[in-house]
């Protein structure tokens, strides 16, 4: 068992997560045996000859629910004593970068994908550790939500991506990422900011921090308040925020 984390995806549509596990950086991480995966088709555990996996809800209402029995059998087939079972649902807890970090430390993550109107509540009550939503909108497929969760989690596992890449990206310290530029120096009359060509590391770091603050104030002001309450903003950051407001009389949203 060399892997750092194994994703066990319980689904009626294994082709959706399979495409993700067999592409790009994820495929390399699997090949390096850092990440392992197991796609379990819930339909293989249906009780009848028609392979029925859903039925209408007691009490009436629209849509179909996934049956409890095939899901329970699929869970038992994993033969795992220690595991964390996640159910992807729009009525779950909000998924965040910190949640992804926490999950990246697990050895066996079981991800249950719903379809239709959801699953029988007794599966949630008996087996699910976390109900997770990836955002305030409804997808037709828990598999797409599962791919999002798996992507956010696996890239935080040691050895998948260079540590430096993770340290500077959005949501680190509750701030969004600074803008980046590559060749050419001039594109459609727009020059790369001079400071980035200066080779002056301290100035570059200061400029980038200021840009992170500007971007966060503009796109996600709620994160500034969060960063402040969690002690992520230094005295220099607070000074920069003041300067940003003074520099832009109407505040950072004036162009909106």
Residues that bind ligand ADE (CB under 6 A): 88-90, 133-135, 137-139, 142, 145
Listed in sequence order, the residues at least 6 apart from 130 whose beta carbon sits closer than 8 Å to its beta carbon are 84, 85, 86, 87, 92, 93
Least gap, CB of 132 to ligand ADE (angstroms): 6
CB distance 54 to 67 below 8 Å: yes
Least gap, CB of 134 to ligand ADE (angstroms): 4
CB distance 9 to 113 below 8 Å: yes
Compare residues 29 and 134 and give the one whose CB is closer to ligand ADE. 134
CB distance 69 to 47 below 8 Å: yes
**235-247 vs 201-219: helix axis angle to the nearest 10?**
60
Distance CA 227, CA 233 (A): 6
Compare residues 58 and 137 and give the one whose CB is closer to ligand ADE. 137
Least gap, CB of 157 to ligand ADE (angstroms): 21
Compare residues 113 and 211 and give the one whose CB is closer to ligand ADE. 113
Compare residues 118 and 252 and give the one whose CB is closer to ligand ADE. 118
Which regions of 95-149 does DSSP assign to beta strands (E)? 108-113, 130-133
Compare residues 46 and 145 and give the one whose CB is closer to ligand ADE. 145
Least gap, CB of 206 to ligand ADE (angstroms): 38
Compare residues 70 and 142 and give the one whose CB is closer to ligand ADE. 142
Least gap, CB of 241 to ligand ADE (angstroms): 33
Compare residues 34 and 39 and give the one whose CB is closer to ligand ADE. 39
> What 8-state DSSP symbol labels residue 214?
H
Coil, helix or strand at residue 24? helix
Distance CA 40, CA 8 (A): 7
CB distance 57 to 63 below 8 Å: yes
Least gap, CB of 154 to ligand ADE (angstroms): 17
CB distance 54 to 116 below 8 Å: yes
Least gap, CB of 135 to ligand ADE (angstroms): 5
The residue nearest ligand ADE at its CB is: 145
């Amino acid at each position: 068992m060399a892997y750092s984390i194994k994703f066990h995806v319980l689904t009626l549509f294994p082709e959706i997560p399979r495409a993700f596990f067999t592409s790009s950086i994820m495929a390399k991480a699997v090949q390096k045996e850092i990440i392992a995966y197991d796609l379990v088709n819930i339909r293989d555990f249906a009780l009848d000859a028609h392979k029925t996996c859903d039925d209408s809800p007691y009490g009436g209402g629209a849509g179909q629910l996934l049956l409890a029995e095939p899901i329970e059998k699929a869970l038992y087939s994993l033969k795992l004593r220690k595991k964390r079972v996640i159910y992807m649902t729009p009525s779950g807890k909000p998924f965040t970068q910190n949640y992804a970090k926490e999950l990246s430390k697990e050895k066996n993550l079981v991800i249950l994908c719903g379809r239709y109107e959801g699953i029988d509540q007794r599966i949630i009550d008996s087996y699910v550790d976390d109900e997770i939503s990836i955002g305030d909108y409804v997808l037709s497929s828990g598999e797409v939500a599962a791919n999002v969760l798996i992507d956010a989690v696996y890239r935080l596992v040691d050895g998948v991506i260079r540590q430096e890449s993770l340290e500077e990206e959005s949501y680190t310290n509750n701030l969004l990422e600074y803008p980046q530029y590559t060749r050419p120096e001039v594109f459609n009359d727009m020059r790369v900011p001079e400071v980035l060509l200066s080779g002056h590391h301290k100035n570059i770091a200061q400029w980038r921090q200021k840009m992170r603050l500007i971007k966060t104030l503009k796109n996600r002001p709620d994160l500034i308040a969060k960063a402040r309450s969690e002690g992520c903003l230094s005295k220099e950051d607070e000074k920069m925020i003041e300067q940003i407001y003074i520099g832009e009389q109407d505040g950072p949203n004036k162009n909106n």
